[in-house]
A and B are shown apart, each in its own frame.
Chain A
Amino acid sequence: DAGITQSPRYKITETGRQVTLMCHQTWSHSYMFWYRQDLGHGLRLIYYSAAADITDKGEVPDGYVVSRSKTENFPLTLESATRSQTSVYFCASSAVKAGDEQYFGPGTRLTVT
């Protein structure tokens, strides 16, 4: 089915381990985004990408790495997971036209023990 998918949906990892969250969209949208959702903080932008091989930091980028070698994929890597990175992570995409809505994936619930 067309759309935006995230994997895994749930992940438990230990402090210090590297974790990669995957995001895939089938619309060929130019923009892709990673957010984390925490109670009391709403949705905070981690990184975004305007096109393949173009990425930029958002509001809370520390401890995260992204890459975008193909338009449809935008993986998020936690290089050395910390308990403070326990959160629900959402990927989103949008077309380049101003005002286009962002389409969100179903989210990945990550727990760092």
Chain B
Amino acid sequence: QQQVKQSPQSLIVQKGGISIINCAYENTAFDYFPWYQQFPGKGPALLIAIRPDVSEKKEGRFTISFNKSAKQFSLHIMDSQPGDSATYFCAASQYYGGATNKLIFGTGTLLAVQP
């Protein structure tokens, strides 16, 4: 019940296209859903995050869509650029209802944006 399932494992998108990465969770107590971006040789860095009281959050070209009833959330990258090529991790946590800041991560998606 603690798993976060992420798909696809890898994704190739043309420059200017839309990249979509999906995640699903089982634990209905999760109340914080961040996405982390990781470039080769670097540690992950927070990209964007959402709480389940909203269905969508947008920051620039990056949008999280959240479907509480389906227990799914997704990352959309609009107008994908070669500089977006990285590994993306979704995660979930009981930040607000729990006692710790522990994150459960998905298995990651390697995104390649072709010029």
A residues lining the B interface (CB < 8 Å) = 31, 33, 35, 40-45, 48, 50, 56, 58-59, 90, 92, 94, 96, 98-107
Q: Which residue of A lies closest to B98 (CB)?
A: A98
B residues lining the A interface (CB < 8 Å) = 2, 6, 9, 32, 34, 36, 41-46, 49, 51, 89, 95-96, 100-108
Closest 9 A/B residue pairs (Cβ): A104-B43, A42-B107, A101-B46, A43-B105, A42-B105, A98-B95, A42-B108, A104-B44, A31-B101
Main secondary structure of the interface of B (DSSP, over half): loop
Work out how many contacts link A and B, with CB atoms closer than 8 A.
61
Q: Note all chain A residues with C-beta closer than 8 A to B108.
A: 42-43
A45, B107: Cα distance in complex, Å: 13
User: In the complex the two chains form, is A45's CB within 8 Å of B44's CB?
Assistant: no
User: In the complex the two chains form, is A104's CB within 8 Å of B45's CB?
Assistant: yes
Residues A101 and B49 in contact in the complex (CB < 8 Å), given A43-B105, A44-B105, A106-B42: yes
A31, B100: Cα distance in complex, Å: 9
Known: A43-B108, A45-B102, A102-B103. 12 other contacts (CB 8 A): A31-B100, A42-B108, A43-B105, A58-B102, A92-B43, A96-B101, A98-B95, A99-B49, A101-B46, A104-B44, A106-B42, A107-B43
In the complex, 28 of the A-B residue pairs with CB atoms within 8 angstroms, ordered by the A residue number, are A31-B101, A40-B9, A40-B107, A41-B107, A42-B106, A42-B108, A43-B108, A44-B105, A45-B102, A45-B104, A58-B102, A90-B43, A90-B44, A96-B101, A98-B32, A98-B96, A98-B101, A99-B49, A100-B101, A101-B46, A102-B101, A102-B103, A103-B45, A104-B43, A104-B44, A105-B43, A106-B41, A107-B42
